[in-house]
Amino acid sequence: MVVAIDGPAGVGKSTIAALLAEKLNLYYLNSGSFYRAITYAHQLKNEDILNKDAVLETAKNIKISVKNSKVCVDGIDVEDKLHTLDVDKYVSQVSVDPRVRDIVNSIIKNIAEGIDIIAEGRDITTVVFPNADFKFYFDANAEIRAKRRYIQHPDGQDFETILSEIKKRDKNDKEKPVGSLKIANDAIIIDTSYLTIPQVCEKVIKAIKAQDMR
């Protein structure tokens, strides 16, 4: 069984997918982590992150795996290196290259082979698992997403900066030539703006049960 979730940054996909994975006994896969791992690995080499061919070489030459739910590069757990401001700043540019996307997508499909998973990202319902058993698109307005980020990291960037970064990321995500953020025709749309995390989980579980009974 494949449960696929797409949606913009800060909409609650990761938190909710991780909770649903526990509740439904599914393997949780966060596809953004793979783009982040490539970005981090390339930055470690101190090479130009905007040189697409060089980034592709990095992507080809590292081994990305997941051990105990932690993303590893060449066997080393890098999970706590993936959400730095430096990675945040460049990851969307790394994720634009269709050649890098192919590498990430084949890693994801390999991991998913023969297991029940819940995967989330931007193109999971449209490109990676177009035949997923259950598809969801989470949305929330940009101000609310920025406010949530600000509350999570009150000592970090100010609200206006977070909001403008979120809007920039939305634009990048939606305008990518390949793998852009789109709503799949058969996805169930959930607006999380005014819902709590348990309420969103409940909506997803209800929708899965309803579809399962058909």
Binding site for ligand DC (CB under 6 A): 9, 31-32, 35-36, 91-92, 95, 121-124, 169, 173, 179
Q: Which of residues 12 and 121 has its CB atom nearest to ligand DC in the complex?
A: 121
Q: At its nearest, how many Å lie between ligand DC and the CB of residue 125?
A: 10
Q: At its nearest, how many Å lie between ligand DC and the CB of residue 81?
A: 13
CB of 46 closer than 8 Å to CB of 143: no
Q: Which of residues 82 and 201 has its CB atom nearest to ligand DC in the complex?
A: 82
Cα angle at 210 between 207 and 214, to 5 degrees?
A: 135
Q: Compute how many other C-beta atoms are within 10 angstroms of the C-beta atom of residue 83.
A: 14
Backbone angles phi, psi at 170, to 5 degrees: -60, -45
Q: At its nearest, how many Å lie between ligand DC and the CB of residue 210?
A: 26
Q: Which of residues 43 and 92 has its CB atom nearest to ligand DC in the complex?
A: 92
Q: At its nearest, how many Å lie between ligand DC and the CB of residue 187?
A: 14
Q: Which of residues 56 and 209 has its CB atom nearest to ligand DC in the complex?
A: 56
- Bridge partners, residue 139, by sequence: 191
Which strand ranges, in their side-by-side order, compose the sheet holding 76-77? Answer: 64-67, 70-73, 76-77
Q: Which of residues 26 and 96 has its CB atom nearest to ligand DC in the complex?
A: 96
Q: At its nearest, how many Å lie between ligand DC and the CB of residue 88?
A: 8
Q: Which of residues 189 and 210 has its CB atom nearest to ligand DC in the complex?
A: 189
Question: Which is nearest to 200 in space by CA: 1, 4, 19, 8?
Answer: 19
Burial string for 139-153 (b: 16+ CB within 10 Å, else e) reads ebebeebbbbbbeee
- Bridge partners, residue 3, by sequence: 118, 134
Q: At its nearest, how many Å lie between ligand DC and the CB of residue 96?
A: 8
